[in-house]
Amino acid sequence: MEEHSIYVEWAWKTLNEYFYWGKLPDIAKNLPEALNGKAGCFVTLHKKDGSLRGCIGTIIPTKETLAEEIRDNAIASATRDPRFPAVKKEELKELIISVDVLGEPAEATIEELNPKEYGVIVEKGWRKGVLLPDLKGVDTVNKQLSIALRKAGISPGEDYKIYRFKVNRYH
């Protein structure tokens, strides 16, 4: 059996306590250093056949610790992704979780993008679209930007800002 990272173990603990006990796991005062820092993160749920089941995240830290960020995003991914109905407790055993811990976004040009290496954020005013890096079927900068722009509701002809970011992906 494959060992999971501390981030994925924490996401599993969160979902199990939430679905089976109706509560959130306690954030201990003596968290491992890896969970005690601050970072944006995405929690992605896939079915065992590889299809997406939920993905919610934050591009910059919104909580005091990464543990809280993962906890809240794991629950949101399972219950509030608008593309899917909420996960049912019986589905948990059929899910695979990955956690992407994001580096700090930096403004970039199109020439500085690489969809395998960098995630992308497009922004115009309050409209913002985010796409994680190294996604199946997203192998060109144009495709990456097209998806992010569509998610943001930004026309390709508009002026918009581009940011790129790196992630560490854990399974």
The set of residues, in sequence order, having a beta carbon less than 8 Å from that of 111 and lying 6+ positions away, is none
Alpha carbon distance 52, 17 (integer Å): 22
The tens digit of pLDDT for each residue in 69-113 reads 999 999 999 999 999 999 999 999 999 999 999 999 999 999 999
What SS3 state is found at 75? helix
Mind listing the domains of the chain with CATH numbers?
6-102 (3.30.700.20), 106-166 (3.30.1490.150)
Beta pairing partners, 155: none
Q: What pLDDT does residue 30 have?
A: 75
Give this prediction's pTM.
0.93
pLDDT at residue 1 tops 50: no
The set of residues, in sequence order, having a beta carbon less than 8 Å from that of 138 and lying 6+ positions away, is 115, 131, 144, 147
pLDDT at residue 31 tops 90: no
